[in-house]
Amino acid sequence: MTVTIVGSQLGDEGKGGVVDLYGDAADVVARYQGGDNAGHTVVHDGEKYKLSLVPSGAVRGKVGVLGNGCVVNPETLFDEIDTLRERGLEPDVRVAERAHVILPYHRALDGIEEEEKEDLAAGTTKRGIGPTYEDKAGRRGVRIGDLLDPEVLRERLEYVVPQKKALAEDVFGKETGEEFDIDHLYETYREYGERLAEEEMTVDCGTFLQERIDDGDNVMLEGAQGTSLDIDHGVYPYVTSSNPTAGGATVGTGLGPTVVGDGEVIGIVKAYLSRVGTGPLPTELGGVEGQTPDYDADAGAGGDEEALATTIRDEGGEYGTVTGRPRRVGWLDMPMLRHAARANGFTGLAINHIDVLAGLDEVKVGHSYEFDGDEVYTMPPTTEQWGRCEATFRTFDGWPEVDWADVAAEGYDAIPENARTYLEYISDELDAPIYAVGVGPGREETVIAE
């Protein structure tokens, strides 16, 4: 049986808490896309662990798998594993031989391209994610399996590195160093390959997972980022370069769609919206310099919206886990969620962070958009069209600040009534039941709806 966890918005929906909750019942936790652009904090036995690549289940004694749909930076991988070991854990991490490797030139090019693109820059995490997926699609990538075979590794590098070097030097006019040097890369990455082999970490992902499922194990498929950051279904080009949507869980692991579809697909919803990076955001409150398009610091500063945005940002700790950037915040965007519910086929929802909104007089949601004179209920296909959408808001009465730990202990009915009205509106609109409600950052602060 599988449980797939998918972000329904723009990442940082609090997937970690839900992964934790359902991860208890899982024997294996696999990631199916992305790389070290994800970020999760796991609290285990009172210790806090920050991970960006290793699946969080590995901290809790589960087998953690990086699927073939992931892009893997071996340096990050081994750093995280070594740190966990220094702290007394013995993580069991497997990596798909079909997964692609992030090389130093990918990181360098990610930075260079972001500078060049200006208005089109996605505000990436600069981890080399996009350039690695580009090489995957361009059939010039290096895969984890290639690191185990020095001859193949050498051959691949000799083909691809001169192209990358020419791109950096001739197209972008940058000086390049050892990150574009074939011999240096060969030596370093061959060693990573040796370590992967010594520790018997590599797997044929689909076979590995299917065998575990056939043996009766529970497998959790953990998405990173979110639906609106999906390369196909997100707000292109302000997206990541992989498929966080549920379809990615099958392509990115080698399990069939019927296997994934046989299980649960849980949409993680944050009770408001947050976003790092650029692009339109129809329900945005205030703005963040350098991320909000056409942000005017003088006009925005000091206003009511700006103050509300600051409150939500600080209450919710809305600062990027990977880069520390302040996140843009806004009201819930229902057309975005309807789009996500369809694209992912959610069987249930986990709605997080309702505690963050507690104490506000009223809570708004963008119920629909006005788009070129029409009222629309889902996201239009191009981001330029989305940028022309004006949200039509619905207003809900706010709910009080309460002792959320008590609420978590007592269950769903202990959630303040106005918050339940809000939750049930979301569930009705998305035609999916609520499985869980997050009322705080801690592990115990999730209410399971019966």
List contacts with ligand 2SA (CB under 6 A). Answer: 7, 10-12, 15, 37-39, 122-125, 127, 129-130, 224-225, 229, 238-241, 276-277, 320-322
- Residue 251 interaction partner, one of ligand 2SA, Mg ion, none, beta carbon < 5-8 Å per kind: none
What does the DSSP assignment read for 385-437? HHHH-EEEEEEEE------HHHHHHH-GGGS-HHHHHHHHHHHHHHT--EEEE
User: Please, which residue, 202 or 228, has the CB nearer to ligand 2SA?
Assistant: 228
Calculate ∠ Cα 239-245-251, nearest 5°: 110
Q: How far apart are CA 53 and CA 66, in angstroms?
A: 8
| 106 labelled catalytic | no
| Residue spans of beta strands (DSSP E) within 163-263 | 202-203, 219-222
Q: What distance separates the 2 farthest-apart alpha carbons in the chain?
A: 65
For the CB of residue 227, give the shortest distance to Mg ion in the complex, in Å: 15
For the CB of residue 80, give the shortest distance to ligand 2SA in the complex, in Å: 14
User: Please, which residue, 66 or 229, has the CB nearer to Mg ion?
Assistant: 229
- Coil, helix or strand for 375? strand
User: Please, which residue, 130 or 145, has the CB nearer to ligand 2SA?
Assistant: 130
- Residue 123 interaction partner, one of Mg ion, ligand 2SA, none, beta carbon < 5-8 Å per kind: ligand 2SA
| 12 labelled catalytic | yes
Q: Does the protein bind Mg ion through residue 222 (CB under 5 A)?
A: no
Residue nearest to ligand 2SA (CB): 277
For the CB of residue 123, give the shortest distance to ligand 2SA in the complex, in Å: 5
User: Please, which residue, 321 or 368, has the CB nearer to Mg ion?
Assistant: 321
Among residue numbers 163 through 192, which ones bind Mg ion (CB under 5 A)? none
User: Please, which residue, 253 or 321, has the CB nearer to ligand 2SA?
Assistant: 321
Token digits for 425?
């509106």
User: Please, which residue, 335 or 440, has the CB nearer to Mg ion?
Assistant: 440
For the CB of residue 386, give the shortest distance to ligand 2SA in the complex, in Å: 14
For the CB of residue 18, give the shortest distance to ligand 2SA in the complex, in Å: 11
* Residue 117 CB-density burial (10 A; 0-12 exposed, 13-18 middle, 19+ buried): middle
Tokens 């090489």 -> residue: 135
Q: Does the protein bind Mg ion through residue 12 (CB under 5 A)?
A: yes
- Coil, helix or strand for 306? helix
Token digits for 226?
């979110």
Q: Does the protein bind Mg ion through residue 223 (CB under 5 A)?
A: no
Candidates 20, 36, 40, 353; catalytic one:
40
**What is the contact mask toward Mg ion in residues 292 to 311, using x (rule: CB under 5 A)?**
--------------------
- Residue 229 interaction partner, one of Mg ion, ligand 2SA, none, beta carbon < 5-8 Å per kind: ligand 2SA
Listed residue (49, 69, 56) closest to 20, CA to CA: 56
Residue 139: Cβ within 10 Å count: 6
Long-range contacts from 408-411, C-beta under 8 angstroms, 24+ separation? 408/439, 408/440, 408/444, 408/445, 408/446, 408/447, 409/444, 411/447, 411/448, 411/450
Which one-letter DSSP state was computed for residue 90?
Answer: -
**What is the contact mask toward Mg ion in residues 20 to 39, using x (rule: CB under 5 A)?**
-------------------x
The residues binding Mg ion (CB under 5 A) are: 12, 39, 321
Q: Mind telling me the catalytic residues?
A: 12, 40
